[in-house]
């Protein structure tokens, strides 16, 4: 853990997608409580099914219903299930060849312990009562009794039509900006902007950096910089952004503070979109005291300023 700020972050990526022909029909079968495969040109029954013949590439359309009973061809034991895995207790991932199929399906076997698993064991599907057209409509496979017969539950749903699958991926992590950026953010809480000046080459950066990106000298000298500058380019945004301001349109701009050599992105406020201009002098508008935080958002936006400082103004 480095000294300085630290914040939890979650990166989420959720979407649904339409699935293709064979996958769609397979999943809609699961929703109806049946497992179906396609017959390849050489007569083998493929479960899960493929759109095209693995040998010839020809389209496949001969559908076969197979049993929900089968044999474990191979397996691996999961001792400590992770978040998002099918079961919250130890289980086996297994390749199950269903009776009537010639290929194996990857699924889960739910048994109390690793000693209960064996290659060659017979298993049956444990169907969920509420099924949605997902591979998890089979909760897990469980050991089959000698008297178990294949069950084909009555179809509750129309199995026509393309299906969609839902994906919700998420990565949680902790972000630590480091010492230099932490001091920069902490200063924003006090309505001060800190820059970093490279003494050998004379460039000043906002935000400050540990080392000069031009000559690699570091550490740089911490210098306070004014909260006034100029617009180096801008755009009036008419489409919503997931994290952006609520009101459209808004003006996003790159702003170079007086005496600083690089620009940074922020917002322009108190300006009609048609009045925004490259080269415009602007000043920071800070949030009220009780909203100040170690964040760029302590500056609500920049607004046009009629107080350019001639001593420090350069070509934007």
**Which residues form the interface with another protein (CB under 8 A)?**
9, 11-21, 23, 50-52, 54-57, 162, 164, 166, 175, 177, 181, 203, 205, 207, 213-214, 232-239, 241-245, 249-250, 252-254, 261-267, 273, 278-279, 296-297, 299, 301
Alpha carbon 231 to its chain centroid, in Å, reads 33
Rg (alpha carbons) of the chain, rounded to whole number: 31
- Shortest gap between Cβ of 296 and another protein (angstroms)? 5
Shortest distance, position 62 Cβ to another protein, whole Å: 18
Instruction: Report the nearest approach of another protein to the CB of residue 52 (Å).
Output: 6
Q: In the complex, what is the shortest distance from the CB of residue 107 to another protein, in angstroms, rounded to a whole number?
A: 20
Q: Closer CB to another protein, residue 11 or residue 129?
A: 11
**Taking Cα atoms as reference points, which of 132, 198, 143, 192 lies closest to residue 165?**
132
Cβ closest to another protein, residue 12 vs residue 129? 12
Residue written as token pair 């649904």: 16
Nearer to another protein, 62 or 99 (CB): 62
> Minimum Å distance from CB 286 to another protein?
12
Residue with Cβ nearer another protein (102 or 297) = 297
> Which residue has tokens 């300023």?
305
Q: Which is nearer to another protein, 47 or 267 (CB)?
A: 267
> Bridge-partner residues for 126, per DSSP?
140
Residue 124 CB, nearest approach to another protein (Å): 30
143-174 as b/e: b if 16+ CB within 10 A = bbeeeeebeeeeeeeebeeebebeeeeeeeee
Q: CB of 198 within 8 A of CB of 215?
A: yes
Residues 6+ apart with CB under 8 A from 158: none
Compare residues 96 and 188 and give the one whose CB is closer to another protein: 188
Burial class (CB in 10 A: 0-12, 13-18, 19+), 113: exposed
């Amino acid at each position: 853990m480095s000294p300085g700020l630290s914040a939890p972050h979650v990166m989420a990526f959720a979407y649904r997608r339409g699935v293709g022909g064979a996958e769609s029909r397979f999943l809609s079968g699961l929703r109806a409580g049946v497992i179906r495969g396609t017959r390849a040109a050489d007569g083998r029954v493929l479960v899960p099914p493929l759109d095209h013949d693995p040998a010839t590439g020809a389209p496949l359309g001969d559908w076969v219903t197979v049993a929900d009973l089968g044999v474990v061809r191979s397996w691996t034991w999961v001792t400590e299930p992770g978040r998002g895995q099918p079961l919250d207790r130890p289980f086996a991932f297994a390749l199950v060849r269903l009776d009537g199929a010639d290929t194996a399906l990857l699924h889960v076997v739910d048994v109390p312990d690793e000693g209960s698993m064996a290659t060659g064991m017979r298993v049956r599907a444990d169907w969920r009562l509420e099924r949605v057209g997902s591979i998890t409509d089979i909760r897990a496979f469980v050991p089959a009794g000698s008297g178990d017969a294949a069950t084909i539950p009555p179809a509750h749903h129309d199995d026509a039509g393309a299906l969609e699958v839902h994906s919700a991926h998420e990565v949680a992590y902790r972000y630590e900006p480091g010492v230099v950026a932490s001091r920069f953010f902490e200063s924003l809480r006090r309505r001060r902007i800190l820059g970093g000046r490279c003494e050998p080459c004379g460039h000043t950066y906002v935000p400050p950096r540990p080392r000069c990106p031009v000559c690699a000298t570091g550490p740089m000298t911490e210098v306070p910089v004014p909260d006034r500058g100029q617009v180096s380019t801008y755009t009036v945004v008419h489409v919503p952004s997931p994290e952006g301001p609520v009101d459209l349109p808004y003006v996003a701009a790159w702003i170079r503070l007086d005496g600083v050599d690089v620009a940074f992105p922020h917002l322009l406020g108190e300006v009609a979109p048609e009045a925004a201009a490259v080269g415009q002098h602007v000043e920071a508008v800070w949030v009220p005291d009780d909203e100040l935080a170690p964040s760029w958002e302590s500056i609500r936006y920049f607004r046009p300023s009629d107080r350019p400082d001639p001593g420090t103004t350069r070509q934007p």
